[in-house]
A = this chain, B = another copy of it.
Amino acid sequence: MFKFTLEKKSSQCKARTGTIETNHGVIKTPVFMPVGTRATVKAMNNDELKSIGSQIILSNTYHLYLKPGQEIIRKADGLHKFMNWDRPILTDSGGFQVFSLSKTRKITEEGVQFRSHIDGSKHFISPEKSMEIQNDLGSDIMMAFDECVPYPASYEYTEDSMKRTLRWLKRCKDYHKNTDKQNLFGIIQGGMYKDLREYSAKNTIDFDLPGYAIGGLSVGEPRDLMIDLLDFTTDFMPENKPRYLMGVGTPDYLFEAVEHGVDMCDCVLPTRIARNGTALTSKGKLVVKNAKYKDDFSALDDNCDCYACKNHTRAYIRHLLNVDEILGARLLSIHNLRFLIKLMENIRKSIEEDRYLEFKDEFYRNYGYDYHQKCDNIK
């Protein structure tokens, strides 16, 4: 079961709303997806995730393959049962992590040999292996095994890699065993070269898959270049399939993604900066750890409806962070995730009411954001 319905298109830009129906429920888009790398969204439990409106979560093939291992999750009858999450799950293919986390790796046509970042043990993941693992995980949306080319990279390297990713995509599609319940998304690569992006987009879309992702953006390139390439790429993507921009999660980049026709985004940013003591608020970032909040008995964000804002003060949360108490990370994680999910809910509403640009202006006015400032996106 997988059905994408395009609902409303903005008259102001490429923004759009829709729904994705899966075996584990409906996802209203645009959507921000919290990341639960190791079968848990860091510091959160499932009830909390639902309470803040998480419609779908991500998890990670590479991490789960290493620990606890695919057999255990297969024995549990899949990731949903293993972690007791009954809403949709999207799994990353492991490609990005094999390349970014493993110190030594060897790419061949067959796949990637790498060493575990945990214990240095040798492993090999091919497109087929990634599909096998993801079939065991039973995720609703599976990602094709690809190479995310780093920035900067030469034209030649980028072209070779992108074409190999396309060959790997064919092998992924051919190997995928559970097409009734699990839906394979292809990933458009091509680095910072428009002709390669075009080639990748057209050839990926030729596979006629349930959805498509844009990979290899927000990897360190300048903001303007990222937006230009994003805009360029989505023009090639079919309107009747969901579009997923991988690894994007600052408010700024979420706006840019939606504005250029993207339906789905994910990022570890909200939970990562939470554990470092930073809150996203309607008035901009707030480094709660700062001494100036030591006796500030107001909420993190007066406009927020999350558990942290309804129950606790900046002074208390600062104290918890200061003495490294788990509740501090919990409260900031729930807040930051709610902030981005609510932002997407409001963006969706603004598109429905065809006042997306007005909403964006209003948001930025409160946020105090300088449009021209470099975005400190964290992949």
Contacts and interface: CB of A to CB of B under 8 A. Distances in A.
Contacts of A43: 326-327
- Interface size on A, as a range, is 35 or more
A149 interface: no
Interface in A37-51: 38-40, 42-47
A326 B42 contact: yes
Interface stretch (A104-112, A249-257, A307-315, A348-356): A307-315
A325 B42 contact: yes
A67 interface: yes
A68 B38 contact: no
B316 A82 contact: yes
A315 B82 contact: yes
A312 to B, nearest CB: 6
Interface of A: 38-40, 42-47, 63, 67-68, 71-72, 75-76, 82-84, 294-295, 297, 307, 311-313, 315-316, 318-320, 322-323, 325-327, 329-331
A268 B197 CA distance: 58
A312 B84 contact: yes
B330 A326 contact: yes
A42 B40 CA distance: 19
Nearest to A44: B327
A39 B320 CA distance: 8
Contacts of A311: 45-46, 84
Nearest to A311: B84
B72 A323 contact: no
23 contacts: A39-B319, A39-B320, A40-B325, A40-B327, A42-B327, A43-B326, A45-B307, A45-B327, A45-B330, A45-B331, A47-B307, A63-B323, A67-B322, A67-B323, A68-B315, A71-B295, A72-B315, A75-B297, A76-B313, A76-B316, A82-B313, A83-B312, A326-B329
Given A42-B327, A68-B319, A82-B316, 7 more contacts: A45-B307, A67-B323, A68-B318, A76-B315, A82-B313, A82-B315, A84-B311
A72 B329 contact: no
A75 B314 CA distance: 13
Nearest to A48: B45
B42 A323 contact: no
Most buried by B among A76, A311, A323: A323
